[in-house]
Structure 1
């Protein structure tokens, strides 16, 4: 497995010094960058040992994924800009989580929402295919959104499309918040395109904490047992990378080391 941290480019050197394999950047933030800023980011990535694996926190709230205001035209414009930016920076994944863009009003027709989600992902898939980029739908949790929340929901959506470059982000934080079973991951391990990890602590979403190491161990052992050997990003919302990145990486590396000793 290779490990990353979701943060902004200002923390690049921190991740490089700690030995992370990659950085995961915010797609919404990338969309605000000028051409000059994009060139600066590319130079940082090109000159250093840490690559950009992809984007999280991707879709602006002004671009609904489903629900009122959904627009194929807005979706297409967003897809073009994000896919070009990802290709420019050498990223291979674009995650589609963005709970603020996936909240349905009460009584919204679910069949219509399903159709909109399929349109959204198809538009992104077609644009991304030009650059060999994967589009990864992220299951969320009931505290953040109300559409296509669980791993099973996401799997059903991805299967209904059957597109070669559309898969899923598997997120431990959402799994635990929803009370889902890790056994659900065995329904289709090939659908796991990327992994996120974070921890709820005092109502905040932070990076990994040592007192929950057994939970992370069960999760990573399950993934490896299913044959997953891809990318794993720590995705905190609260706290500073400078305070969290080193401990999180040490925890993950320790768990992988224990797994290897058992082989």
Structure 2
């Protein structure tokens, strides 16, 4: 983080949605199709001028070793790097509720964090509404204790792998705990874990009617490590006149004026038709506003 008012540069990336990892026994044809899709997405991200790609970690964590090595080689040959990952956990590994299996979680983290490091990620984003929600009838305080315990285990791996873990505030329709950035900041700050940070997603903030001014506190405390950019209904920023959408000029101004110099990534529902044109227009729009902010 830099001092408020200083000139800053924010790198803008693209979240890439991937097909599920091929499972054992993996056929050559299935693996080839998956690799071709992955390579295409990397090439598209680079061609459109994004600064980095953001990949779903659980997909790469679940790849067989030989397949992961092939994917890693594709990434190393790509003109675009992966500087952040999302989707830390698969849905089958909850961290709250009565179905938590600590041994399975530890085994998964021991594989996932080194793979995130190998991919090149600096930040592992932790949203996962399905894995961290409070189940019906389950004690909320106990669920918060479980979440704290899980993040403390993540801290061990994050320190070894030299990455940050960013907790994402999710809207009320996706999760029933940590629904506001303000809540996430307070929770993360209370844990005092050196590698734990916060992710702010403009779409979730809009759903929760949370003002962009809250980002000032997160930046001032040094806790904002990553930002996701999406408008109402996960639309690409700047393409349509969206009723009750996000004021992007103000949102970016709050980030820049308060010295945010981290990463931001488009996490949007990309149109099937004219995908490249839409992504280019949105990226150009955001960079133009950032320069003017």
TM-score normalised by structure 2 residue count: 0.82
CA contact (8 A) 2:13 2:265 kept: yes
Q: 1:109 to 1:77 in 2, by over 3 A?
A: same
Question: Which structure 2 segments of 5+ residues have no match?
Answer: 1-9, 19-37
Note if contact 1:21-1:49 (Cα within 8 Å) is conserved in structure 2: no
Per the alignment, residue 146 of structure 2 pairs with 116
Query: 2-side partners of 1:187 and 1:38: how far apart?
Result: 39
Q: How does 1:23-42 map to 2 (within 5 A)?
A: 23-42=53-72
Higher RCO structure, 1 or 2 (CA under 8 Å, sep 6+): 2
Matched ranges for 1:6-25 at <5 A: 6-7=15-16, 8=18, 9=38, 10-25=40-55
> 2:264 aligned with 1:232, yes or no?
yes
Secondary structure in 2 aligned to 1:54?
strand
Structure 1 unmatched ranges of 5 or more: none
Give the number of aligned pairs: 256
Does the Cα contact within 8 Å between 1:142 and 1:178 map onto a contact in 2?
Answer: yes
- For 2:123 and 2:135, the matched residues in 1 are separated by 29
Tell which deviates more after alignment, 238-247 or 218-227: 238-247
Q: Secondary structure at the match of 1:23?
A: strand
Tell me the CA shift for residue 52 of structure 1: 0.4
Query: Which protein is bigger by CA-based radius of gyration?
Result: 2
* Cα distance in structure 1, aligned partners of 2:95 and 2:290: 36
Q: Does the CA-based 8 Å contact 1:15-1:245 persist in structure 2?
A: no
Q: Tell me how far apart the structure 2 counterparts of residues 215 and 96 of structure 1 sit (CA, whole Å).
A: 26
C-alpha contact (below 8 Å) 1:5/1:245 kept by paired residues:
no
1:217 aligns with 249
Tell me the distance in 1 between the aligned counterparts of 2:279 and 2:128: 23
Shift of 1:111: 1.3
| Equivalent-residue separation in structure 1 for 2:137 and 2:217 (angstroms) | 30
Q: 1:185 to 1:214 in 2, by over 3 A?
A: closer
The runs of 4+ residues in structure 1 deviating greater than 6 Å are none
C-alpha displacement of 1:100: 1.1
**TM-aligned CA deviation for residue 16 of structure 1:** 0.8
What's 1:95 paired with?
125
1:144 equivalent to 2:174? Answer yes
Equivalent in the alignment of 1:77? 107
Aligned to 1:206: 235
**Which structure shows the higher strand fraction?**
1
Distance apart, 1:249 and its partner CA: 1.1
Which residue of structure 1 aligns with residue 282 of structure 2?
248
In structure 2, the residue corresponding to 1:95 is in which secondary structure? strand
Give the superposed CA RMSD: 1.9
Distance 1:244 1:72, change over 3 A: farther
For 1:123 and 1:140, locate their aligned partners in 2 and report how far apart those are by CA, in whole Å: 22
CA positional deviation for 1:170: 1.0
SS of match in other structure, 2:232? strand
Q: Report the secondary structure of 2:173's partner residue.
A: coil
Return the TM-score normalized by structure 1: 0.90
Q: Does structure 2 conserve the Cα–Cα contact (< 8 Å) formed by 1:72 and 1:119?
A: no
What CA distance in whole angstroms lies between the structure 1 residues aligned with 2:130 and 2:93? 10
